[in-house]
Copies of this chain bind each other. A is one copy, B any other.
């Protein structure tokens, strides 16, 4: 496990750089944890236990309705922390959403007292924590806008474009997963995908979308 320790140390030095004793103590107080894909890190209504900083892997944060429909709010990627966790930690509210490990993850945990101490003594830590917050909040507001104002076809097109850029030429997602990203129903996505396919802009497979014509979709 020495190489991982190295990686964690390097990341910490990059995110929270500085030689002060306070920062050194803070970096040392972080606990490394491993979380397997599929595990739920927090549920709606849970109190918040500690500050979470992702090192590797990814957490999906989402809300689920009684009827079973769900929406993904955002993801927490390496080097980032979770807005909701931070807010709940500070204001002692309970989680308003749930977080699930999407890819096997490694994270650093700062206990509540360590976190508060860090905020108190380190300018660097404060900046790190709260600049994370600002970006996420903006994301959430964009999300609201998107859901309320944009049409489904253009939202789906945007999503496909985004995925086809990161993942290579084939997007391995079910219609249900795409629907969750958009906060809509599976059937709606299926139908819209069919429309795109008929226009020759995508090719559908079982659990996949491939040969995405980005240029064509941009025009939706």
A residues whose Cβ falls under 8 Å from a Cβ of B:
63, 65, 67, 69, 71, 73, 83-84, 87-88, 90-93, 96-97, 119-120, 123, 126-127, 130-135, 137-138, 140-145, 147-149, 183
Contact = CB atoms under 8 A, between A and B. Distances in A.
A63 B147 CA distance: 12
Nearest to A67: B149
Nearest to A88: B134
Nearest to A121: B120
A85 to B, nearest CB: 10
B144 A63 contact: yes
Contact of A90 (B73, B130, B143): B130
15 contacts: A69-B149, A87-B133, A87-B138, A90-B130, A90-B131, A91-B130, A91-B131, A91-B132, A92-B131, A93-B135, A93-B138, A119-B126, A120-B126, A137-B140, A148-B183
B141 A65 contact: no
B69 A137 contact: no
A165 to B, nearest CB: 23
Contacts of A97: 141
Contacts of A93: 134-135, 138
Contacts of A91: 130-135
Q: How many copies does the complex hold?
A: 2
Given A119-B126, A120-B123, A87 B144 contact: no
Contacts of A84: 137, 141
A116 to B, nearest CB: 8
Residue from A63, A123, A149 whose CB has the most chain B CB atoms within 10 Å: A149
Contact of A96 (B90, B131, B142, B183): B142
9 A-B pairs with the lowest CB-CB distances in the bound complex, closest first: A91-B134, A87-B134, A90-B130, A65-B149, A91-B131, A87-B137, A96-B138, A96-B141, A148-B183
A126 B89 CA distance: 13
A119 B133 CA distance: 15
Nearest to A83: B137
Contacts of A67: 149
